[in-house]
Structure 1
Amino acid sequence: MATLNICIRPSSTFQPSHSKFPISLYNLTVVSSFVSTTSSATNLSKFQNSSTRNPSLFIRKLSTLPLINAKSGFVSLARGCSWMQDNSVNYDTATSTGLRPGPLYSVFPSKPAAVSSFEDLYTFICSGPLMEKLGWTPKMVEASIDKWLLYGSYLCRLFQFNEMQLTIPQKTRIYHYYIPVFFWCEDQISKHKSMFKDGEEIPPLVIGLSAPQGCGKTTLVFALDFLFRRTERNSATISIDDFYLTAEGQAKLREENPDNELLEFRGNAGSHDLQLSINTLMALSKLTKEGMKMKLPRYDKSAYGGKGDRDDPLAWPEVEGPLTVILFEGWMLGFKPLPVEVVKAVDPQLEVVNKNLEAYYDAWDKFVDAWIVIKIKDPNCVYQWRLQAELAMRADGKPGMSDVEVKEFVSRYLPAYKAYLPTLYSEGPEGSDPKRLLVVEIDEERNPILAA
């Protein structure tokens, strides 16, 4: 395997871009390269060796990798690690995609895990906990290494990571989590398209993502949506939060259930406008041609002092066809009703919630073609993740819930987690095809792990 040490002098007019980097943007000078070869005959070594023999080829390959650090002159990202600065992404009701850069407020280890060579990265990719589940072999990784590098470069630029000095969690998130899941999504899109004949209109593939609060599902959706757009697939994102009742509707629900704390505020089954979700998902499925447009509903959680209300329709983002994929995410997506005695044993107040859940399959789950389920070992992680976020917000001088308020907030969701997650993990969502279901188990640091 060849290892290259390259120093590059950036142009004074360098400007970052989310497109592939045209060579004209750079003033590239290869200062030195030190090559040591082994007997390996893989595509990786061929890639590096050919790059060494042909500098112009190397520059073309390099242009799909990281940005250039204008201070150091070495290949890297222009501005370090955004996650280590608590500056990643949050849901935003104002943008066309529904997502924007914003505080993530999570705690990550900071031990560096520098990518010193292609061989190291190749070995790291092959060691990922999802590889066997997805049917990936080392030879398949080798054959597609250019895509791994390109997608990794896209995500590093998106999250403002230093690609040459990735921390362990950053490296894990990108190459063990986000890219493998994206490859799975690509495969699902291909299978979906193969079901239609030439000339037929192909409705967008709906991928449902069920994941507990605080586990990073919004960031995962943000990364997937970004990669879809970078690979020229038109996508739309929607959340079950977008279908909450209006403030007036929630107040009525509270009045009808005065002794049920689980329905006092938004969250559990019964606090959603199911007809709005049906209308929205049906309309999205028909966006198969250019020029077709629709607005996506959005919910303002900050309205009425945090009690929330549906956002003004004039502020709803617009999406245009033809759509390739729809990412539909939610903390209770895929939950299905259980026998009354089961839910009452968890919490008697769940009986009404369980009854409400009977109508949710027709409003949500039946529209989903493929499923991603994020699995956690202990629902109490939700409390810890929320507490981390609020502590970080308070430390940053921003308003955040007290520890007591966090406990009260999460307590409204824990009964549903304890009741419905075991069945979701063992059986999958109702009507789901095991061949179109990906279960990703994560640890307390929100990183994927090998399933037990």
Structure 2
Amino acid sequence: MSPRPHAPPASGFPIVIVEAALADALDGGNRPAVLAISGLQGSGKSTLAARVVALARRRGLQAATLSIDDLYLTAAQRRHLAATVHPLLATRGPPGTHDIPLALSVFDAVRAGRRLRLPRFDKLADDRLPESGWTSVVAPLDLLVFEGWFLGTPAQAPGALVEPINELERVDDGDGRWRRGCNDALARDYPALWAQWDRLWFLQPPDFDVVVQWRWQQEQALRKSAARPGGMDRQQVGRFVQHFERVSRQALRTLPGLADRVVPLDARRQVPGQVNDT
């Protein structure tokens, strides 16, 4: 795939989008309300989630964010999967590399109004932080915004898994065992997690190819903000994104018809017809 020309990150989402997301989340009357924001890598879902939570707090509500990225299996758990199931499972992110029991226990605590700490994952260290580094939440919450790159995405039909779709699948998963395992996990384990939210929003990019550039921008920002060296170079980011391509394309095919609201984005992560604000 050919990378898109460099585009600076968007400064945020229009306030009308932020207000609409909060209103939609609270519209059902549930407390706590759970708003899910699904969007491919680098689409700005964490930015939108943070702005929704900030607006909720300004209105006197108790609100917090949780990312599916914070629910990865630990590095040791993924190394075990790599040694016993498939080497590609050492890489965080695809279905099958998340701690679903931990995720469901978090939602149980949120729904029950119990005090809790939200898990946090250190991407540069590629490992979950110890519980002492998790985020304490004032309970009970009025709103939890849950964001992630493939939230709500259904599994593919088995026949769709036969042909590899990129170099990673051709070279490192020639027999299809890894992609079938990820798809099986998506079908078996994730629907219980998808059932936890009240509303699902999908940030829709123009196509998949732009995601590589977005993810590279995200990596550069992560490295600049870190107090220690680490992270991936441009070539490593390209390979990393291939781990997500199959499910990302499935998200692009299916989520426009499944989400409660679709927010289209252009290649600069702008909402067409809207002016981004901070």
Q: Tell whether the structures are fold-level matches, with TM greater than 0.5.
A: yes
Give the AA of the match of 1:342.
Answer: A
1:343 Cα deviation after fit: 2.9
Alignment map for 1:299-310 (pairs within 5 Å):
299-303=121-125, 308-310=126-128
Q: CA deviation at 1:395?
A: 8.9
- Flag structure 2 segments of 5+ consecutive residues without an equivalent: 1-5, 166-175, 274-278
Equivalent residue of 2:184, what SS? helix
1:205 and 1:386 mapped to 2: Cα distance? 30
Contact 2:25–2:35 at 8 Å: present in 1 too?
no
C-alpha spacing 1:106/1:312, structure 2 compared with 1 (3 Å): farther
Q: Is the 8 A contact 2:22 2:52 kept in 1?
A: no
In the other structure, the counterpart of 2:215 is 386
Aligned mates of 1:412, 1:256 — CA distance in 2? 19
Q: Does 1:229 align with 2:52?
A: no
Distance 1:414 1:228 in 2: 34
Does residue 181 of structure 1 match 2:17? yes
Given that 1:344 and 1:350 are in contact with CA atoms closer than 8 Å, whether structure 2 keeps it comes out as no
Are the equivalent residues in 1 in contact too, given 2:19–2:52 (CA < 8 A)?
Answer: no
Equivalent residue for 2:171?
Answer: none
Residues 20-39 of structure 1: CA deviation (Å, up to 9, x unaligned):
xxxxxxxxxxxxxxxxxxxx
| C-alpha distance in 1 between matches for 2:98 and 2:221 | 30
Check conservation: 2:18, 2:48, Cα contact below 8 A. Answer: no
Aligned to 2:42: 214
Partner of 1:264: 90
- Give the equivalent residue in structure 1 for 2:129: 311
Query: Per the alignment, in what secondary structure is the counterpart of residue 152 of structure 2?
Result: coil
> Which residue is 2:115 aligned to?
293
Cα deviation for residue 209 of structure 1 reads: 0.5
Identical positions, percent: 30
- Alpha-carbon shift at residue 370 of structure 1 (Å): 0.4
Match of 1:249 among 77, 97, 105: 77
Deviation of 1:358 (Å): 1.5
Task: Report the equivalent of 1:439.
Answer: 262
SS in structure 2 at match of 1:378: coil
Q: Which residue in 2 is equivalent to 1:408? A: 239
Task: Give the Å deviation of 1:185.
Answer: 2.8
3-state DSSP of counterpart to 2:153: coil
1:337 aligns with 2:155: yes
| Counterpart code for 1:413 | F
CA-CA distance at 1:179 after TM superposition = 1.6
| Equivalent position to 1:238, from 30, 52, 66 | 66
Q: Name the larger-Rg structure.
A: 1
* Shift, 1:418, TM fit: 2.0
Matched AA of 1:321: A
Whole-Å separation in 2 of the counterparts to 1:392 and 1:328 = 22
CA distance in 2, matches of 1:382, 1:318: 32
Higher relative contact order (CA 8 A, sep 6+): 2
- TM superposition shift of 1:293: 1.6
2:62 aligned partner, one-letter code: N
Contact 1:297 1:316 in 2 (8 A): yes
Question: Deviation per CA, 1:180-230, whole angstroms, max 9, x where unpaired?
Answer: 22222343245222xxxxxxxx53110001011111111111111111111
Residue by residue over 1:280-317, the C-alpha shift from the partner in whole angstroms, topping out at 9 and shown as x without a partner, is 11111111xxxx421111112232xxxx2221112211
TM-score (structure 1 length as normaliser): 0.52
| Cα pair 1:293 1:319 within 8 Å, conserved | yes
Q: Hey, what's the Cα distance between the residues in 2 that align with 1:185 and 1:420?
A: 20
Shift of 1:400: 5.3
Q: Distance in 1 between matches of 2:236 and 2:104?
A: 34
Q: Is the 8 A contact 1:346 1:418 kept in 2?
A: no
Q: Normalization by structure 2: what TM-score?
A: 0.82
Q: How many pairs were matched up?
A: 255
DSSP-derived class of the 2:261 partner: strand
- Secondary structure in structure 2 of the residue aligned to 1:364: helix
Counterpart amino acid of 1:333? L
CA-CA distance at 1:372 after TM superposition:
0.9
Q: Are 2:138 and 1:283 equivalent residues in the alignment?
A: no
Contact persistence 2:109–2:115 (CA under 8 A): no
Query: Is contact 2:25-2:199 (8 Å) kept?
Result: no
1:402–1:422 CA distance, 2 compared to 1 (3 A): same
Cα distance, 1:394–1:329 mapped onto 2, change above 3 Å: closer
Which segments of structure 1 move beyond 3 Å, counting only runs of 4 or more? 345-349, 360-363, 388-400
Judge conservation of contact 1:210–1:331 (CA < 8 Å) in 2.
yes
Deviation per residue, 1:28-75 (Å, 9 max, x gap): xxxxxxxxxxxxxxxxxxxxxxxxxxxxxxxxxxxxxxxxxxxxxxxx
Q: Is the 8 A contact 1:346 1:419 kept in 2?
A: no
For 1:337, what is the secondary structure of its paired residue?
coil
Give, in whole Å, the separation in 2 of the partners of 1:406 and 1:226.
Answer: 31
Partner of residue 15, structure 1: none
Give, as a single letter, the amino acid of the residue that structure 2 aligns with 1:277.
Answer: A
Q: Larger deviation: 224-233 or 178-187? A: 178-187
Q: Which sections of structure 1, spanning at least 5 residues, go unmatched?
A: 1-104, 109-168, 194-201, 430-436
Change (3 A) 1:221 1:352: same
Q: Distance in 2 between matches of 1:395 and 1:232?
A: 33
* Structure 1 letter corresponding to 2:118: L
